Chain A
Amino acid sequence: MKKDRKDSASNQAGLDRALSKRQGRREFLLKTGGILAAGAFGAVPLRGWAADPVNIGALYPTTGSMAQIGVGCVAAAKLAAEMVNDAGGIKSLGGAKLNLIISDVQSDTTVTRTETDRLITGNKLSAIHGCYASALTLIASEVGSSSDQLNKGRTYTFTPFARASQFAQAQLRMSKLVSDQPKVAVIFENTAFGTSTSNGLKELAPSEGVEIVMFEPYSAGFTDASPLINKVKASGANALFSVSYLNDLILIVRTIKQVGLNIAINGGSGGFVIPDFYKNVGKLAEGLQGVAHWNHDMDANCEKVNAEYKKRTGEFLFEYAGGLVAQTFMIADALERAASADPQKVREALSTLDVSSGYAAMAPGGKVKFGPDGKNVYGHPVGVQWQNGDLASVFPKEDAHAPLMKT
């Protein structure tokens, strides 16, 4: 314990030296910004002391345009820390409690940077978790990759959940639940988001044995979906992938009902798998499929955490917040095995994490083990469907909780 304290003290001195030079400080910020943002789900050990309690930094947008998700994440982060502490804290550190230091990044990249700086320099942290919208992540990681030190930095980032490229694959495979010979119509808004997502689907389709019978961009924010749905009808598709934002999707779903077209709709990830979606869309959402990082009914542990979260917030535990609870337990597991709050040792312990039970294993597939790139080797997304106002896991089989409801 004493030695740890000395080690981290010298680390702190090094940090101070780095901060004393403006250039050094900028590099430091670029690097940490890159590390923090490199994964929407990143557990990043940092410099700190083996003092009691163990400080965990939490960077979330609790105000601004992304606040809704951020506030949910903070509630989940608090719940997770409480669960660890109520179970006796970190036993190898004499029952040390997790202490959450929450920082609001205000849905803004500039603020994200300054708040990260404040959090790191003002506190003795063992790890940071962050929950960003991809826009913040993208900008920050682009800045980060211009730094030579990013390669070194990346070894501090761990991503327990599925990567973007796996989502398209999951979506294509889900279409096989609908039919043995899926004929997919892909419609997407003609924006960067729509084009890149749909191109991913198109490229993967042949190797997954899925036929794409229609591939059509549309102007986002249209007033009438009927002509587009006319085209879908004419294409003879039996599954529809709609890469759309909420407003367009509502029109599309409604029009499909009016036409009386019998087709399974998959809305992909993002805004379709949060409680707000059902609140806004109502019964129209029933039967709609999507893809998520995490879902609250994957196993008994997930359901237990979900029940507690629901009691506190009134809503089910959505993907980001649920993943965060699992992440907190991964950090706790690492702290336990490292028997130290020293960030370097926490990082080493995380890199050898291998769990298949307990709260830390609450990931699709129920197993977490990080490869050399810091990504979970078992990581994959979970296919979900809105059933009776709740989001049910339907794909793949190992994570499925309910059969796919035919629409």
Chain B
Amino acid sequence: MLETVAQAVINGLLIGGIYALVSIGVTLIFGVVKIVNFAQGEFVMIGMYISFFLATQFGIDPLVSLVVSMPVLFGAGVLIQHFLIRRVLGPNDMPQIFLTFALSLLLLNLALMLFTANYRTVHTSYSDEAIHIAGLYIPVAKLIAFVLAMALSGALWVFLHTTDLGKAMRAAAQNRDVATLMGINPNRVFCVALGIALALAGAAGSLLMPFYSAYPFVGQVFTLMAFVAVVMGTLGNVIGALVASLMMGIAESLGIQYVGADSGLLVVFAMLLLTLAFKPTGLGGGRAR
């Protein structure tokens, strides 16, 4: 009994790490630029395909291909902010929603056209391996993904709290007008925020590749989870999104174990409803950090 619970918690925690990378990106963009990025999952998908092609064409391990997928998507984020999002920033939310939603559709259909709807998997030496301790097992690929995801989240936290640019981003997140008055160049900060968010999505893609299949619709699974985590962890709050993601992973896993294998998401959404009912501003206490 205890063993089963422990196993379910381990499973949930490990997948929660991946949810965290995606939701931190969404919350960062929302916190700093104040737009909702509906295309975040599609960038995870692009990260996966980058790792897939590097692995199949050049034999590069998906984890190593992080050093390609993250810079490529960082660059894409900067370009998207500079050439697309910058033009729709204004008092009206609608063009922003349409822009990121259209981007999501465009990328999804481009992927369908270029890569077809087939599932692509990469098989690494550690894909099927697991560490067995005391009757429990920890899949190696997921453990590595979790550790790296936590390391990246930690690095982001250090960046936001110790560097001038990071502080400028937090300032812009807390109050954009005052930040601008203090001499912070909003477009530069926004470009970096988009870049970092997309790089995290790319990292999630590369980390997923050793144990999950790439296909054009793969991002939608993660977009949904990310949105729930972002709302639950207070919009714009990086730590909140991280904690909420891990909680959701565990809730989903326990839900599958004890409610039913088709009820994992049910438990997650029940958790979201309860959070909204009793703490409407989210677990982060309504503050962007």
A interface, CB within 8 angstroms of B: 65, 187, 190, 216-219, 221-224, 226-228, 230-231, 234, 246-247, 250-251, 254-255, 257-260, 276, 280-284
Label chain A's interface by main secondary structure. Answer: helix
Whether A280 contacts B261 by the Cβ 8 Å rule is no
Whether B128 contacts A259 by the Cβ 8 Å rule is no
Report chain A residues within 8 Å CB of B12: 224, 227
Distance from B88 Cβ to chain A, minimum over Cβ atoms (Å): 31
7 tightest A-B contacts by CB?
Answer: A218-B261, A227-B256, A226-B11, A258-B130, A257-B128, A190-B262, A224-B15
What are 13 A-B pairs with beta-carbon distances under 8 A? Answer: A218-B261, A223-B225, A224-B15, A226-B11, A226-B139, A227-B8, A227-B257, A230-B257, A231-B257, A254-B127, A254-B211, A255-B139, A258-B139
B180 within 8 A of A: no
B104 within 8 A of A: no
The complex places the Cα of A284 from the Cα of B222 at a distance, in Å, of 25
- Over the window 117-132 of chain B, the binary record of Cβ atoms lying under 8 Å from chain A Cβ atoms (1 yes, 0 no) is 1111101000111101
Given contacts A223-B15, A223-B18, contact A217 B260 (CB under 8 A): yes
Report chain B residues within 8 Å CB of A218: 256, 261-262
The complex places the Cα of A219 from the Cα of B252 at a distance, in Å, of 11
The complex places the Cα of A281 from the Cα of B213 at a distance, in Å, of 9
Distance from B58 Cβ to chain A, minimum over Cβ atoms (Å): 18
The complex places the Cα of A311 from the Cα of B277 at a distance, in Å, of 65
Q: Select from chain A the residue with minimum beta-carbon distance to B253.
A: A227
Report chain B residues within 8 Å CB of A234: 4
Which residues 126-142 of B have a CB within 8 angstroms of A? 127-130, 132, 137, 139
The complex places the Cα of A219 from the Cα of B211 at a distance, in Å, of 18
Interface size (B, Cβ < 8 Å)?
38
Report chain B residues within 8 Å CB of A221: 221
B interface, CB within 8 angstroms of A: 4, 7-8, 11-12, 14-15, 18, 117-121, 123, 127-130, 132, 137, 139, 211-213, 215, 221-222, 225, 252-254, 256-257, 260-262, 264-265
The complex places the Cα of A97 from the Cα of B124 at a distance, in Å, of 52
Report chain B residues within 8 Å CB of A231: 256-257, 261
Report chain B residues within 8 Å CB of A222: 264
Whether A224 contacts B11 by the Cβ 8 Å rule is yes
Whether B119 contacts A250 by the Cβ 8 Å rule is yes
Report chain B residues within 8 Å CB of A226: 7, 11, 139, 253
Q: Which of A219, A230, A259 contacts B265 (CB 8 A)?
A: A219
Report chain A residues within 8 Å CB of B14: 224
Report chain A residues within 8 Å CB of B18: 223
Q: How many A-B residue pairs have CB under 8 A?
A: 93
Report chain B residues within 8 Å CB of A250: 119, 121, 213
Distance from A219 Cβ to chain B, minimum over Cβ atoms (Å): 5
Given contacts A219-B264, A222-B264, A258-B139, contact A284 B123 (CB under 8 A): yes
Q: Select from chain B the residue with minimum beta-carbon distance to A222.
A: B264
Report chain B residues within 8 Å CB of A284: 121, 123, 128
Q: Select from chain A the residue with minimum beta-carbon distance to B266.
A: A219
Question: Given contacts A227-B264, A254-B128, A284-B121, could you give 12 more A-B pairs where the C-beta distance is less than 8 Å?
Answer: A223-B222, A224-B12, A224-B15, A227-B12, A227-B257, A246-B213, A258-B128, A258-B130, A259-B137, A280-B118, A280-B213, A282-B121
Whether B119 contacts A247 by the Cβ 8 Å rule is yes
Given contacts A217-B262, A250-B213, A258-B129, contact A224 B253 (CB under 8 A): yes
A218, A228, A251, A258: residue with the most chain B Cβ atoms closer than 10 Å: A258
Report chain B residues within 8 Å CB of A255: 139
Whether B119 contacts A280 by the Cβ 8 Å rule is yes
The complex places the Cα of A177 from the Cα of B212 at a distance, in Å, of 31
B14, B119, B215: residue with the most chain A Cβ atoms closer than 10 Å: B119
Distance from B213 Cβ to chain A, minimum over Cβ atoms (Å): 5
Q: Select from chain A the residue with minimum beta-carbon distance to B120.
A: A280
Whether A219 contacts B261 by the Cβ 8 Å rule is yes
Q: Which of B8, B119, B130 contacts A246 (CB 8 A)?
A: B119
Q: Select from chain A the residue with minimum beta-carbon distance to B132.
A: A260
Q: Which of A216, A227, A247, A259 contacts B130 (CB 8 A)?
A: A259
B4, B118, B128, B254: residue with the most chain A Cβ atoms closer than 10 Å: B128
Report chain A residues within 8 Å CB of B117: 65
Report chain A residues within 8 Å CB of B11: 224, 226-227, 230
Distance from B91 Cβ to chain A, minimum over Cβ atoms (Å): 37
Distance from A22 Cβ to chain B, minimum over Cβ atoms (Å): 38
Q: Select from chain B the residue with minimum beta-carbon distance to A245.
A: B119
Distance from B249 Cβ to chain A, minimum over Cβ atoms (Å): 8
The complex places the Cα of A280 from the Cα of B127 at a distance, in Å, of 15
Distance from A38 Cβ to chain B, minimum over Cβ atoms (Å): 28
The complex places the Cα of A284 from the Cα of B120 at a distance, in Å, of 13
Given contacts A260-B137, A283-B123, contact A187 B253 (CB under 8 A): no
Whether A216 contacts B4 by the Cβ 8 Å rule is no
Report chain A residues within 8 Å CB of B15: 223-224
